[in-house]
Amino acid sequence: MISVERDNNLSSDRDEAATRRDFLYLVAGAIGTVGTTVAVWPLIDSMNPAADVLAVASTEVDLAPIELGQRVTIVWRGQPVFIDHRTPERIAQARADDDNPDLIDPASDASRVKRAEWLIVIGVCTHLGCIPLGQKPGDPRGDWGGWFCPCHGSHYDTAGRIRKGPATRNLYLPPYEFLDVGLVRIG
């Protein structure tokens, strides 16, 4: 009888020790998880945009002073944005190339503009991030009269579509909306 009671006592002591050990494992795991989260959170939080970038998340541009045929550059979120007040000739040239099977990244002119006379694109080459030439009157504009990237020779047409060179994507379009006849909000 005594040996059975001893066995029962030893068995209950082992069960109690196992329960304590399991509890300690769970507590250590929880503390480790919380500690890791606290250590990693600053790294993750640092990847968010800076306050100065968020402050200029959108910008309004007065289009009235931009003359027909003139191109201007503004800065939005630290990137150049090209605004082109297109002439009827540039619009016709862009529309004539809509069905061209040689377009590297096919897109119609109408899908790239909200108003035919205004083309608004992010002025960063889609190859390696250089800024294409073509905004100033004396700049080379490439073989299609749009923009020319001097870094690696990409040519863009008057709709900002890639036509030749190592870039594989058209110039990106920023989100924008016309607030009035002569006012646009980018962002």
Which residues are annotated as catalytic? 152
Cα(154)–Cα(139) distance, integer angstroms: 14
Half-sphere exposure of 121 (CA within 13 A, CB side): 30
Considering only CA atoms, give the Rg of the chain.
Answer: 31
Q: How far from chain centre, in Å, is Cα 183? A: 24
φ, ψ at 81 (rounded to 5°):
-120, 125
